[in-house]
Amino acid sequence: MTDTSAELTVDEHLREDEWFDSISRDCVDGLTSDPKWLSPVWFYDEVGSRLFDEITKLDEYYPTRAEASLLADHAAEIIERSGADTLVELGSGTSDKTEHLLDALDATGTLERYVPFDVSGETVRNAADRLIDRYPGLRIHAVVGDFHRHLGEIPQVGRRLVAFLGGTIGNLSPGERSPFLRDLASTMSDDDHLLLGCDLVKDHETLVTAYDDPSGVTAEFNRNALRHANSRLGADFVPENFEHRAVWNGQDAWIEMRLRSTVDQDVDLGSLDTTVHFEAGEELRTEISAKFTPARIDAELTDAGFVVVAMWTAEPGYLLTLARRSITRQE
* Distances in whole angstroms, Cα of residue 311 to Cα of each of 70, 165, 174: 10, 14, 21
Residue 281, SS3? coil
Highest-pLDDT range among 12-26, 106-120, 244-258: 244-258
CATH of residue 154: 3.40.50.150
Same domain, 208 and 234: yes
Q: Is residue 330 domain-resident? A: no
pLDDT (average), residues 187-214? 96
Same domain, 43 and 183: no
> What's the pLDDT band for 22 if we cut at 50, 70, 90?
confident
pLDDT of 293: 98
Residue 3 pLDDT > 90: no
Residue 6 pLDDT > 60: no
Residue 87, SS3? strand
Contacts of 318 (CB under 8 A, 6+ apart): 62, 63, 66, 67, 70, 167, 197, 198, 199, 200
pLDDT of 136: 87
> What's the pLDDT band for 2 if we cut at 50, 70, 90?
low
> What's the pLDDT band for 120 if we cut at 50, 70, 90?
confident
Please give the Cα distance from 18 to 36 (Å, whole number).
24
Same domain, 55 and 178: no
pLDDT of 247: 97
Q: Is residue 20 domain-resident? A: no
Same domain, 68 and 170: yes
pLDDT digits (tens, 9 = 90+) for 24-62: 999 999 999 999 999 999 999 889 989 999 999 999 999
Same domain, 171 and 297: yes
Same domain, 241 and 277: yes
> What's the pLDDT band for 147 if we cut at 50, 70, 90?
confident
What does pLDDT average to over the chain?
Answer: 94
Give the rounded percent of residues in the chain with a pLDDT score beyond 70.
Answer: 97
pLDDT of 100: 95
pLDDT of 96: 86
pLDDT of 7: 84
Q: Is residue 161 domain-resident? A: yes
> What's the pLDDT band for 121 if we cut at 50, 70, 90?
confident
Q: Is residue 21 domain-resident? A: no
Same domain, 282 and 309: no
Question: Bigger pLDDT: 199 or 4?
Answer: 199
Same domain, 308 and 185: yes
Q: Is residue 307 domain-resident? A: yes
Residue 71 pLDDT > 50: yes
pLDDT (average), residues 133-158? 92
- What is the domain range of residue 139? 2-13+61-202+292-325
Q: Is residue 18 domain-resident? A: no
pLDDT of 61: 97
Residue 167 pLDDT > 90: yes
Q: Is residue 261 domain-resident? A: yes
Q: Give helix 217-233 / helix 16-31 axis angle, nearest 10°.
A: 110
Same domain, 72 and 166: yes
Q: List the beta strands (DSSP E) in the chain.
A: 2-4, 8-12, 36-37, 86-90, 113-118, 139-144, 160-164, 193-199, 242-249, 254-261, 265-268, 275-278, 283-290, 306-314, 318-325
> What's the pLDDT band for 256 if we cut at 50, 70, 90?
very high
Contacts of 172 (CB under 8 A, 6+ apart): 180, 290
pLDDT digits (tens, 9 = 90+) for 267-321: 999 999 999 999 999 999 999 999 999 999 999 999 999 999 999 999 999 999 9
pLDDT of 1: 54
Closest CA to 27 of 43, 10, 4, 15: 43
| Phi, psi torsion values for 180, nearest 5 degrees | -60, -50
Same domain, 312 and 239: no
Same domain, 230 and 140: no
Q: Is residue 27 domain-resident? A: no
pTM: 0.93
> What's the pLDDT band for 5 if we cut at 50, 70, 90?
low
- Angle among Cα 231, 235, 237 to the nearest 5 degrees reads 100
Same domain, 173 and 312: yes
* Count of structural domains within the chain: 2
